[in-house]
A and B are shown apart, each in its own frame.
Chain A
Amino acid sequence: MDMGRWYFTWLLLPLLLAGCLASPARSSLAPGQLDVYDVTLGSSTDYQEIRGVRGTDEPCLRGYERSFAELDIVLGYGRDRKIRKITTRNPQNSMFDVHPGDSAASAVARLRGAGFVEGDPSRFRKEGLLLTILVDGTGRLFGMTLEEADPTD
């Protein structure tokens, strides 16, 4: 084996291995399934500001949460500094075509249609994702959270 090929192999091998060993893509979301200011689950983007609104951090057991009060969204960052959770109360946002402000009944129907299965009340699971809907006393959805489901659950 000549030196060029040797170097090529040894440079490529760690890269290939890193690809194999890396955790699988956290979210298998198709375009349009999540519409929250282009934020994606699993992203390591450190959003200090979204649409001119500055985020404020609060500690949580699994990392920290960054709240953008005027936009009514909260991003949960894990200890690995990747986005593990997205909460929105903003009717301009959507998750699987469900918007805050929708009736809970229509939201549930849409989530079932998208392949989600309801476990505990208001909590829906699908392919490693957990979507929780927040429903008010009138049966209207006022917010929702999408997060990576705990694999041990």
Chain B
Amino acid sequence: MNMLKVTIIFSLFALSLSGCAAKIGTSPQGLELPIEKAALKLGADVQAGGYKVVTTDELKKWLDEKKSVLVVSSLPVEDDKAFGILPGAVNSPMPKTEKDLTPADAERLLKVAGNDKERVVVVYCGFVACRRSHIAAKLLVDNGFKNVYRYPAGIAGWGEAGYPLVK
């Protein structure tokens, strides 16, 4: 076997091994277990909440097209200041769990959402595993709002897509 043949065989072998060693899964970075946990929770929450979800690309398209939509950040005011908000978003903080929801939180959100129950409202928070947006979306649905969307990826997804957050 000449040297060229040996080199080619070894190169192919190395390439096939590197292919096997590459991470597999939803994200090339791995993290399948937290993704599974967040996905299951998201699915259950969406079903229980009775609202719809919107993806990063869809929401970006809506905003670019100047579609009439109210975007609500359910993050604490401090986080909005520190990390920025989606363009045109208004703030109405929600707690992380239902247990911590106060009548004042609910009242503030309903005031922000206004009286038009047909209005498209999109709520978001930090990332898929963040449930503040679920609490907000469910509250709106429970109060008769017909077109409520949760944007699960939140500011983490918006930033990851390279879209601007406004400070």
Contact = CB atoms under 8 A, between A and B. Distances in A.
B53 interface: no
Interface string A126-153: 0000000011110000010000001011
Nearest to B125: A61
List the 9 closest A-B pairs by CB distance, nearest first. A150-B78, A61-B126, A137-B103, A134-B102, A61-B79, A59-B129, A134-B100, A135-B102, A143-B100
Q: Is the interface on chain A under 10, 10 to 19, 20 to 34, or 35 or more residues? A: 10 to 19
A153 B78 contact: yes
Q: How large is the interface on B (under 10, 10 to 19, 20 to 34, 35 or more residues)?
A: 20 to 34
A140 B102 CA distance: 11
Given A122-B102, A122-B104, A136-B102, A58 B79 contact: no
11 contacts: A58-B96, A59-B34, A61-B126, A61-B127, A62-B79, A122-B104, A134-B100, A135-B104, A143-B99, A150-B81, A150-B82
A66 interface: no
Interface in B86-113: 95-96, 99-100, 102-104
A100 to B, nearest CB: 11
